Structure 1
């Protein structure tokens, strides 16, 4: 039950009270506060297990940063996706200068344990300055028109931000989004590119992976 509740919260734009009502419709009584505690306690752990079980992502990384306003202050969500749109990692920071870009590059390389073939970013100078120090040998393409993949990846964040009536703090945003990415990657089946039969097979594999990561099958 816990894994199902956590899956609902991170997979769909649902509030804790929405999930409480959905569970009640199945005859399961659980309070929204309990649901909140479960997402905090188990969400990141499940996401980490999924990340370990998923295959290595693509070698073309699209990087972008977007402004999130939290309690009247601007913060920057740094996000990297591969050429297929899978989220590689995110990092919330208060700045978008060279040091912030270096910190994000270092986090990506440490978490993924492989270097990209190509980096694609917008024309923010911080990317080029940081790349010279962190990934000097990687091809770097800077062009706003080439980076639609990363910009589109921010849409789910905007939807959740609206549903949650904005994030409470920088740490709150980091905790939620770092779990949200891997969980949604697992169920990102690209339905529009698959036949119905193939889609059902891919979806079944995603649920099997989720059950393994959350210990449902043990």
Structure 2
């Protein structure tokens, strides 16, 4: 039996929204509102019902978990490279009644470089965080200075991973990242409980993505008026996924 050598017709890639009952515009608006404003899933359910969209808050939660990483990944190539001065610190959150640590870093321009939820606050966790931040393919920046608190694990980890960087430890020098922690905690306050490390990681990464987008660290919707820049950027990203 002779097989056909006729080339297959080109088919466009399947949309990430295929198979969902609600239109992509509704899903993207719900995800954007959740990442942008201090709203719970129940709040979003109520707001959508007022606009004629009857959707359960559990469905909104699933949309956030599903589409937040996809939208952030679609924006990766448009992200600005961070500066070479990094402020690194860890804060803590209660996830399902258990304390967890969150490692975060921002640069001198206010761009959130990365965030990582960890069960421990030790050298292994710090090492994993720095490797994540340094391996982000689109950043291509190695810091020349890293500002941390006086935690004893940092000198060893930095000497191992970024030996050329100046490790700066000084009182009040780490204020930029500590102030940024407060914005994250303010956003998480209405969530009515964080259930798992994995889902919390998605939300924290989504918060960082939204912060960076609002602060102008992406080449997205650059011609849109400031008031509509975020909504325009999300509409562009929805077309990409």
Tell me the TM-score range normalised by the shorter chain.
0.7 to 0.9
The structure with the larger Rg is: 2
The Cα shift of 1:204 comes to 4.2
Instruction: Show structure 1 runs of 5+ residues with no match.
Output: 190-199
Q: Return 5+ residue gaps in structure 2 as ranges.
A: 1-25, 217-223
Q: 1:68 aligns with which of 72, 86, 93?
A: 93
Does residue 115 (structure 1) correspond to residue 139 (structure 2)? The answer is no
Partner of 1:184: 211
- Give the TM-score of the pair, scaled to structure 1: 0.86
Specify whether residues 54 and 131 from structure 1 end up closer, same or farther in structure 2 by C-alpha distance, changes over 3 A only: same
Contact 2:84 2:144 in 1 (8 A): yes
In the aligned structure 2, how far is the partner of 1:160 from the partner of 1:181?
Answer: 11
TM-score, length-normalised on structure 2? Answer: 0.79
Shift in Å at residue 67 of structure 1? 1.8
More helix by share: 1
2:48 to 20, 23, 32: 23
Please give the alpha-carbon distance, in whole angstroms, between the structure 2 residues aligned to 1:173 and 1:150: 19
**What CA distance in whole angstroms lies between the structure 2 residues aligned with 1:169 and 1:44?**
16
Aligned-pair distance for 1:63? 0.4
Equivalent pair of 2:48/2:55 in contact (CA under 8 Å): yes
Distance 1:72 1:207, change over 3 A: closer
Deviation at 1:213, TM superposition (A): 1.6
- Taking the TM superposition and a 5 Å limit, the aligned residue runs for 1:1-218 are 1-111=26-136, 112-188=139-215, 201-215=225-239
C-alpha deviation, 1:134, in angstroms: 0.1
| Whole-angstrom distance in 1 between the partners of 2:48 and 2:228 | 22
Structure 2 CA distance for partners of 1:188 and 1:52, relative to 1, 3 Å: same
SS in 1 for 2:108: coil
Q: State the SS of the aligned residue for 1:124.
A: coil
Q: Distance in 2 between matches of 1:205 and 1:11?
A: 12
RMSD: 2.4
Which 4+ stretches in 1 moved above 3 angstroms? 200-208
Tell whether the 8 Å contact from 2:32 to 2:231 is kept in structure 1 after alignment. no
SS in 2 for 1:42: helix
